[in-house]
Structure 1
Amino acid sequence: MTITQLKYVLAVAEHQNFTKAAEKTFVTQPTLSMQIQKLEDELDILIFDRSKKPIELTTLGKKIVTQAKNIVNESERMQDVVDQEKGFVGGDFHLGIIPTIMPTLLPMFLKNFTNRYPKVHLKIEELTTEEIITKIIDGHLDAAIAATPLDHANIKERALYYEPFVGYIPNNHRLASKNKIDGKDLDLDDMLLLQDGHCFRDGVLNICKASKLHKDDAFQLESGSFETLIKLSNEGLGMTLLPYLHTLDLAEKQKENLRYFNEPSPAREVSVIYSKSELKLHIINALYDVIAGIVRGAIAFQDVKIISPKN
C-alpha cells in the first residue's frame, strides 16, 4: 500500500470517474486504474462499484476513503513539521474568500503578504461560504476568509476582525433625517438586498429579524454587488446596508448618505477558517498576522454586536 495509491482512490471517489481522476492526478488512466486494482487486490476488497454510472463507492469503500483521507493528511503533515522546524514559510497555498470580503480586503493585505513571504505561492478563489466549506473538507482549500460563526464540526475559526454594518440612506428616504439608526428602524419593504446565497444578505435579514421579503411588495430588487445597490439607492428605490470597509472607498458625496448604528453596532465577524487537520498551519498563522495587523488600523469600532451569517 502506498500514499500514491490512496491519493488515486480519493481522486476517483471525488470525481466518480477514472479518466477525470487521472487527469487531476497527472497520470494516465491505465496507470491509475492499475494502482487502484493492486490496492483492492492487496486488501481483498472492492473499493468501487464499477458497474454503476457514475462510479460509486462500495459500503466498505466509503470506510476506506475516510481512512485514506486521514492517512494522506498525516503524511502531508510531515512536511509541515519539517518546514516549521526550519522556519520556512513557503509552498503552494490555496485561499478562498467570500465575494463580499474579496474586493475590499484583498487589496489591503495581498502586496504586504507577498512581499513578506515571497516563497508562498498563493492561489486565491472567490467562492460562496458553502463552496468554501466543501472545498476545505475535500482538501482543495488550505484556508479561507469568511463571515463567522459557522459552527461546523470539521472546521476551525479564528476571528480576524469585527466589521460593522453601515446604512446607506439617500436624501429622499424616511430615515434620511436621522443621525444614527437602530435595527428596529429597518424595514424590508424599502431595503435593497444582495442576491440569495450571500452571507452578508443573511446578516441583514437577521438584523431585521425577518426571513424573507413581503410577497405583496410592489417590486423586489436584489443584486450581486454593493455598487449596484448603491446606484439603485441613489435612484430613490430604497436604502441598503454596507460592510464598513466597503464605505472607505466611497466618493465624498456618497459618504454623506452613510448612517452608522447606535452602539452596540451590528457587525459581522470575519475569520480565517481552515480544516481541523491544521495542515499548513504555519502559513495560516502568517496570513492571520498580516491581515489582522492591517485591518485593526482601519476599524476603530469597539462596542459591537456580532450578527450571525446563519439563517
Structure 2
Amino acid sequence: MTLNELKYIVAVAKEKHFRKASETCFVSQPTLSVAIKKLEDELDIKLFERRKQDVLVTPIGKQIISIAEEILERSKDIKQIAKESQGNLSTELKIGAIYTIAPYLLPKLIPSFHKLAPNIPLVIEENYTHVLADKLQSGELDIVILSLPFDEPNIETYSLYEESFSAIIPKDHPLAKSKKPINLQEIEDETILLLGIGHCFRDQVVEAFPNLMHMNYQSSRLQKTFEGSSLETIRYMVSSGAGISIFPCTSLSERDEELFSIKPLANPVPKRTVALAWRKTFSRMQALELFKQAIEDIEIPCTLS
C-alpha cells in the first residue's frame, strides 16, 4: 500500500470516473486502474463497482477512503511541520468566510495578517456555512470564519467577538423618527427584507424573532417577505424604500446613514458570536496563531471580544 494508491482511490471516489480521476492525478488511466486493482487484491476487497457511466463506491470502500483522506492530509502535515521547523512560513493558507462576514472583516484582516506573516499567501473563499464545513473537513480549507454555533466532529473553534443586530429603515418611514429601540410588534405589518434560505444570518434573525415569519402570513395588510441574495442587495432596497431589514452591526458604517436610518433593537438585543474554526488535526499552529493575532490587532467597531 502506497500514498499514491491512496491518492488514486480518493480521486476516483471524488470524480466517480476513472479517466477523470487519472487526469486529476496526472497519470494515465491504465496506471491508475492497475494501482487500484493491486490495492484491492492486497486488501482482498472491492473498493468500487465499475458501471458504464460512472463508478459506485462500495460500503467498505467508503470506510477505507475516509481513512485514506486523513492519511493523505496528515502526510501533507509532515512536510509542512518540517518546513516550519526551519522557519519556512511560505505555504499558502486557505481561508473561508461566510458571506455576511467576509466583505466587512477581510479588507482589514488581510493587510493585518500580511504584516505579521508577509511570506504566507492567503487563498480566500466566501461561501455558505455548510459548504465551508464540508471543505474544512476535507482539507480544502485550513481555517474558516463563521458564526456559532458550529458543532462539527474533529473541529476546534475559537470565539473572536460578539456583535449585536440593528434594524435599518428607509429615511421617510415613520419609525425612522422614533427615538426608542425597535421591537417586533412595531414591524409586524412591514415588508421585511431577509437573506435567502442557506444563509445562517437569516436563521439567526428568524430565531431571534420567531414570530416574524408567522406575522408575514397572518397580517391583515398586504405584507410579504423579500429574500435577497446578499446584504448589499438588501442595503439598497431599504434605501429605495422597499422595506426594512435587520443587519449585523459590523456590516454597517457611518456612510450608510446617508442611505437609511439605523436603529437599535429592543431588549433582549439579538447577537451573534463570530469564531474561527479549524480541524483538530491541523498542524500549522504557528500560522494559526498568527492569524488569530492579526484579527486581534484590528479594530472591529460595535463588537465585544
* Counterpart check, 1:298 vs 2:300: yes
Partner of 1:247: 252
Task: Quote how far apart the aligned CAs of 1:301 are.
Answer: 4.3
Partner of 1:206: 207
The answer as to whether partners of 1:147 and 1:270 remain within 8 angstroms in 2 is: yes
The answer as to whether partners of 2:171 and 2:259 remain within 8 angstroms in 1 is: no
Task: Quote how far apart the aligned CAs of 1:266 are.
Answer: 2.0
The answer as to whether partners of 2:156 and 2:279 remain within 8 angstroms in 1 is: yes
- Partner of 1:9, secondary structure, is helix
Structure 2-normalised TM-score?
Answer: 0.87
Task: Quote how far apart the aligned CAs of 1:181 are.
Answer: 2.1
Task: Quote how far apart the aligned CAs of 1:268 are.
Answer: 1.4
| CA distance 1:280–1:198, change in 2 (3 Å) | same
Structure 2 unaligned spans of 5+: none
User: What amino acid is the match of 1:198?
Assistant: H
> Following superposition of structure 1 onto structure 2, how do residues 4-15 of structure 1 map, counting pairs within 5 Å?
4-15=4-15
Partner of 1:195: 196
The answer as to whether partners of 1:22 and 1:29 remain within 8 angstroms in 2 is: yes
CA distance in 2 between partners of 1:133 and 1:282 (Å): 22
CA distance in 1 between partners of 2:258 and 2:88 (Å): 47
| CA distance 1:48–1:167, change in 2 (3 Å) | same
Partner of 2:59: 59
**What is the Cα-based RMSD across aligned positions, in Å?**
2.5
Task: Quote how far apart the aligned CAs of 1:189 are.
Answer: 4.4
For 1:224-261, what per-residue CA distance to the aligned partner results, in whole angstroms no more than 9, with x for missing partners? 12232232223333211122122126344236x11123
CA distance in 2 between partners of 1:116 and 1:302 (Å): 23
Partner of 1:132: 132
Task: Quote how far apart the aligned CAs of 1:153 are.
Answer: 2.2
Partner of 1:98: 98
* Counterpart check, 1:17 vs 2:22: no
Task: Quote how far apart the aligned CAs of 1:186 are.
Answer: 6.0
Task: Quote how far apart the aligned CAs of 1:262 are.
Answer: 4.8
Structure 1-normalised TM-score?
Answer: 0.85
Task: Quote how far apart the aligned CAs of 1:205 are.
Answer: 0.8
| CA distance 1:105–1:38, change in 2 (3 Å) | same
- Partner of 1:196, secondary structure, is coil
Partner of 1:259: 263
| CA distance 1:188–1:135, change in 2 (3 Å) | farther
The answer as to whether partners of 2:161 and 2:304 remain within 8 angstroms in 1 is: no
The answer as to whether partners of 2:96 and 2:143 remain within 8 angstroms in 1 is: yes
The answer as to whether partners of 2:144 and 2:278 remain within 8 angstroms in 1 is: yes
| CA distance 1:85–1:140, change in 2 (3 Å) | same
| CA distance 1:208–1:251, change in 2 (3 Å) | closer
The answer as to whether partners of 1:186 and 1:208 remain within 8 angstroms in 2 is: no
- Partner of 2:225, secondary structure, is coil
CA distance in 2 between partners of 1:205 and 1:112 (Å): 34
CA distance in 1 between partners of 2:56 and 2:186 (Å): 50
| CA distance 1:22–1:92, change in 2 (3 Å) | farther
> Following superposition of structure 1 onto structure 2, how do residues 67-216 of structure 1 map, counting pairs within 5 Å?
67-181=67-181, 183-185=183-185, 187=187, 189-190=189-190, 191-210=192-211, 212=213, 214-215=216-217
| CA distance 1:260–1:130, change in 2 (3 Å) | same
User: What amino acid is the match of 1:299?
Assistant: P
* Counterpart check, 1:236 vs 2:241: yes
User: What amino acid is the match of 2:124?
Assistant: I
The answer as to whether partners of 2:163 and 2:302 remain within 8 angstroms in 1 is: no
| CA distance 1:196–1:276, change in 2 (3 Å) | same
For 1:163-202, what per-residue CA distance to the aligned partner results, in whole angstroms no more than 9, with x for missing partners? 2211112244353233342554464642211122111111
For 1:85-112, what per-residue CA distance to the aligned partner results, in whole angstroms no more than 9, with x for missing partners? 3344330222111111111111111122
The answer as to whether partners of 2:81 and 2:283 remain within 8 angstroms in 1 is: no
Partner of 1:272: 276
Percent identity reads: 33
The answer as to whether partners of 1:163 and 1:268 remain within 8 angstroms in 2 is: yes
CA distance in 2 between partners of 1:236 and 1:300 (Å): 26
Structure 1 unaligned spans of 5+: 304-311
The answer as to whether partners of 2:161 and 2:303 remain within 8 angstroms in 1 is: no
- Partner of 1:169, secondary structure, is strand
Partner of 1:308: none
| CA distance 1:185–1:179, change in 2 (3 Å) | farther
For 1:62-88, what per-residue CA distance to the aligned partner results, in whole angstroms no more than 9, with x for missing partners? 221122123223322323432443344
